[in-house]
Amino acid sequence: MWVNRCLASGALAVLLLAPLHAAEFHVAVNGNDARKGTKSAPLRTIQRAADLAQPGDVITVRAGVYRECVNPPRGGTSDTKRIVYQAAPGEKVTITGSEPAKVWHKVDQDTWKLTLPNSYFGPFNPFAEKVYGDWFESRGRVHRRGCVYLNGAWLTEAPNLDTVRQPAGQTPRWFATVDGAAADAPDYLLNVAWFQPAGGEKIPAGQPAARSGTQNAACAEGGECVGWIKPGHWLRYDNVDFGKGTESIAIRAAAAAGTGGAIELRLDQVDGELLGTCAVTATGDWQQWQSFTAKIKQTEGKKNLCLVFKPTRPARAEKESASTVIYAQFPGVNPNEAQVEISVRPTVFSPEKTNIDYITVRGFDLRNAATQWAAPTAGQVGLVTAYWCKGWIIENNEISHSRCCGIALGKYSDQWDGQRGSTEGYYLTIDDALKKDGWTREKIGGHLVRNNHIHHCGQTGIVGSLGCAFSRVIGNEIHDINLQGLWGGAEMAGIKFHGALDVIISGNHIYRCGELGGVWLDWMAQGTQVTGNLFHDNTGWGGDLFCEVDHGPYLVANNLFLSTKAHLANSQGGAYVHNLICGSLEIVPDGRRTPYFKAHSTEMVGLHDCPVGDVRLYNNLLAGRGAFSAFNGASWPVAAAGNVFTKGSQSSKFDTDALVQPNFDAGVKLTQKTDGWYLEINADIQWAVEQQRKLITTELLGQAKIPDLPFENPDGTPLKLEADYFGKRRNTANPFPGPFEAMKDGKQEVKVWPR
């Protein structure tokens, strides 16, 4: 799935020690992997401790910087017999995917360059690897997985070398070339016009029975060719006639200067029997055609033939002499005298195998990973990854500077990675997960992500497709996600979940998230609760919360929605209660048919489209741009009661008992101070007496229409919202509107984070 570059030097030491079964293994920067791992004789690497640890064991890591990616070979067997990875109490332990970079040479003005042999990186060179995947939008340029860091902060990748050779502006940049080719060079391999078994007929390449990737294009020699071929793409042709037996195939191909590749000829399928390989060298242009001959195993009769495209492997001597050159801007800084690092590892803490269950990761500083785009249809790997597992606890960590995702709770990898980027493709992904890969409450999900500080990630703070189900995300601070704005795509947010069945997202502080926004619940949010979160300064088009094609029931309660846009939804079956809403709402219908399930289960019941309506709006406080008028066009019922609308906000036609105060300014303002975040608000004590409100319960909320299920807790117990944002008990006889129960009259200041 990915290459594990565990040690700083890139060398993997094989240690032939008998397994130990101590209750606790110790790791220290002055340790030695030949030791037993006791407190007085600690190991040197976390990976060595991981290799030794058995269910029930604890791995305690002492202060220092550990330059490795940890690949747990096994997990625990239950919640009470897990394998715990923890930083020693009170000590700072950093596990990083980067290495120091010191031998920089000045090029011009603010620009310096670092030249490294490709062998330095071993099998994984993040400056050669591109960011790509389903629903990824490159915005017309190439993006590499590598990063350059100065004093703990990352530089921004430049679109080309000319940009990085200019004087640095407000945002210093970097750019890389590999083997003398610019990192923005295309990665297409070659074009194919036709192929012909010796003694047989020519077969047009543009008429395959099946394909992965590739596109047809006009051919200079007539007809169509196949182009835009990248490594891993394939074409299959059925009933190819090899006659009475042949040992060669001619292939008409073209490749521009500096390109070319290998074509594997396989029977029936991508991993079928290898008949032979055709090496295609550069012909000089994409339409400058040349015939290449491949020697194959003698084959006769009609067979299905698969052409699989691979990059050409350079000769060993050529590979060893090749180099990666990184250019970077360091205005006013000599990088050889500063803390400059480059990323070299694809992840920091991730098992390579699925179903490594019941692991705890606690108290670490985890940073600087060259992660790949995590599409919901592909294997999702973050800086920390619960890789199609059950029962992980990820708590009290700082997780930062992941090229794409901070924490991944999602999907496994398979042969369809990168090939299912459509609504129909995700149907197939769900079907595979249900039928073949054990997507059940008993086997997958149920993670606890608690009290982490997650920031400066290029795609998401936390991502999870299907594997996030039955999880709890509680008390995390998530911010500065995709603020570089280099790329776009439909998989970006502070938290982005597909299949959030019985997921609780509670007590988090989510802010400064770009592109989409704060939380994106995409497909199948059912039994989900978004409660007691602080949202602000999320600039994406989805606002603080986006619920996409969900049927519910889902609960949105006691939240502070303070961004310019509070909510986007093309869903139904939601209950919005006791929120402070200062941003706008956008509510739209959607004709896509998406799944719904039996209660508290992954057993699918059916598919349904997404009309507007079937929502409950109770006891909310709206200010500024807050407006329930977005529901006026609902085609399905909307229940509304107990809401308060202050200056600038708008009620809906369903708010027949609303308290509307067009001249009362709630004066909502969020301020950061040295000890936390404070909310300034102007409250009216009359809100407590001018309306009679009901306590929010399962009985009051009723059934979500499409799944025909009640609003209840993940364990099936009834809902009763007796606590406010701070956990303080509400007046159950007549609850106060908004997220705070005990409010004074007039202007006041409330500390809202940390709580």
Residue 12 clears pLDDT 60, i.e. is over it: no
Among 249-263, 404-418, 700-714, top mean pLDDT goes to 700-714
User: What are the tokens at 229?
Assistant: 């071929």
Q: What is the pLDDT of residue 11?
A: 33
Please give the Cα distance from 33 to 258 (Å, whole number): 44
Q: What is the pLDDT of residue 416?
A: 86
Q: Classify strands 590-597 and 604-610 as parallel, antiparallel or unpaired.
A: antiparallel
3-state secondary structure of 274: strand
The domains located in the chain, with CATH, are 1-97 (no CATH), 98-179+317-342 (2.60.40.1180), 191-313 (2.60.120.260), 371-645+656-755 (2.160.20.10)
Q: What DSSP designation does 44 have?
A: S
- Please state the pTM of the whole predicted model: 0.84
Residue 425 clears pLDDT 50, i.e. is over it: yes
Sequence-distant (6+) residues with CB within 8 A of 377 are 134, 411, 416, 417, 418, 419, 420, 421, 425, 426, 429, 465
* Mean pLDDT for all residues in the chain: 92
11, 32, 291, 287: which is closest to 123 by C-alpha? Answer: 11
At 482-521, the pLDDT tens digits run 999 899 998 999 999 999 999 999 999 999 999 899 999 9
Phi-psi region of 148 (alpha: psi -120 to 50; beta: other; left: phi over 0): beta
> Contact 652/640 with Cβ under 8 angstroms?
yes
At 281-335, the pLDDT tens digits run 989 889 999 999 999 999 999 999 999 998 875 443 344 458 999 999 999 999 9
**Angle subtended at Cα 418 by Cα 412 and Cα 421, rounded to the nearest 5 degrees:** 105
Q: Which amino acid is at 346?
A: P
User: What are the tokens at 76?
Assistant: 């625990």
Q: What is the pLDDT of residue 285?
A: 86
Question: Which band of pLDDT confidence, cut at 50, 70 and 90, is reported for residue 5?
Answer: very low
Please give the Cα distance from 499 to 119 (Å, whole number): 41
Question: Which band of pLDDT confidence, cut at 50, 70 and 90, is reported for residue 2?
Answer: very low
Q: Classify strands 709-710 and 746-753 as parallel, antiparallel or unpaired.
A: unpaired
Please give the Cα distance from 408 to 385 (Å, whole number): 5
Helix-strand-coil split of the chain, %, nearest 5: 5, 40, 50
User: What is the spatial order of strands in the sheet that 302-310 belongs to?
Assistant: 210-212, 234-241, 302-310, 261-267, 274-280
Question: Which band of pLDDT confidence, cut at 50, 70 and 90, is reported for residue 186?
Answer: low
Please give the Cα distance from 455 to 330 (Å, whole number): 23
Residue 10 clears pLDDT 50, i.e. is over it: no
Question: What is the per-residue DSSP string for 665-700?
Answer: ----EEEEETTEEEEEEEE-GGGGTSS--PPPBHHH
Arithmetic mean of pLDDT, 345-368: 97
Between the alpha carbon of residue 672 and those of residues 315, 454, 473, 566, the distances in Å are: 58, 18, 24, 20
Arithmetic mean of pLDDT, 651-666: 96
Question: Which band of pLDDT confidence, cut at 50, 70 and 90, is reported for residue 622?
Answer: very high
At 451-488, the pLDDT tens digits run 999 999 999 999 999 999 999 999 999 999 999 989 99
